[in-house]
Amino acid sequence: MNIMVKLTYNLEQIDTAATFLLHHTKSKIILFDAAMGSGKTTLIKAMAKHLGAFDEANSPTFSIVNEYETPDAKIYHFDLYRLKNFYEALDFGIEEYFDDPQAYIFIEWPKVIEAILPLNSQKIRIIVNENDSRELQIL
Ligand SMILES: Nc1ncnc2c1ncn2[C@@H]1O[C@H](COP(=O)(O)OP(=O)(O)O)[C@@H](O)[C@H]1O
Ligand SMILES: [Mg+2]
């Protein structure tokens, strides 16, 4: 898949990376296809902050979905690492989240639900560079 745009950023530039991604995405459903420890959660939290999310209601050790309220819309942050198959996602009602056009939906480990993802979802990748900075690729 072609890279549309990319940005290299370190931890001090996380807010820049968050706004960059929010401005370049074609969809409010964003799929974070990246390795363990690459910075998915860190980037999603910075995006939530930029969107005006109030303090996190849920515990930082949420299991599958973490919900953030903003003045304009809800943000649903999914971590599907522990999901075995997409039937488990259907069981907890993931399609109802997709049906909310206002909602932002940020998904870590999206591969397991590939078969049921909306076609307009935005794929992104994060690559860890040798100097520990990250390359954000919007596909
Ligand atoms: N741009 C960055 N530059 C350097 N370190 C980063 C960057 N983004 C995230 N990290 C660090 O990488 C580690 C893993 O981040 P995390 O968001 O938990 O990854 P993931 O959710 O992909 O497993 C954290 O220690 C975080 O501070
Ligand atoms: Mg994570």
Atom 5 of ligand 1: nearest residue by CA position: 11
Write down the pLDDT at residue 102: 94
Q: Which atom of ligand 1 lies closest to the CA of 79?
A: 21
- What phi, psi does 65 have (nearest 5°)? -130, 135
The string of pLDDT tens digits covering residues 84-132 is 999 999 999 999 999 999 999 999 999 999 999 999 999 999 999 999 9
12, part of any domain: no
Q: For the residues of 115-129, what is the DSSP string, one character each?
A: GGS-TTPEEEEEEE-
- In this structure, are residues 118 and 23 in contact, taking their beta carbons and an 8 Å threshold? no
46, part of any domain: yes
Write down the pLDDT at residue 119: 94
pLDDT tier, 60 (very low <50, low <70, confident <90, very high otherwise): low
| Total structural domains within the chain | 1
Average pLDDT value for residue range 131-136: 98
Beta pairing partners, 68: 75
CATH code at position 106? 3.40.50.300
Tokens 């898949």 belong to 1
pLDDT tier, 63 (very low <50, low <70, confident <90, very high otherwise): confident
Question: Which candidate, 1, 40, 2, places its Cα nearest to that of 18?
Answer: 40
Dist. CA 81 → ligand 1 center (Å): 16
Dist. CA 109 → ligand 2 center (Å): 9
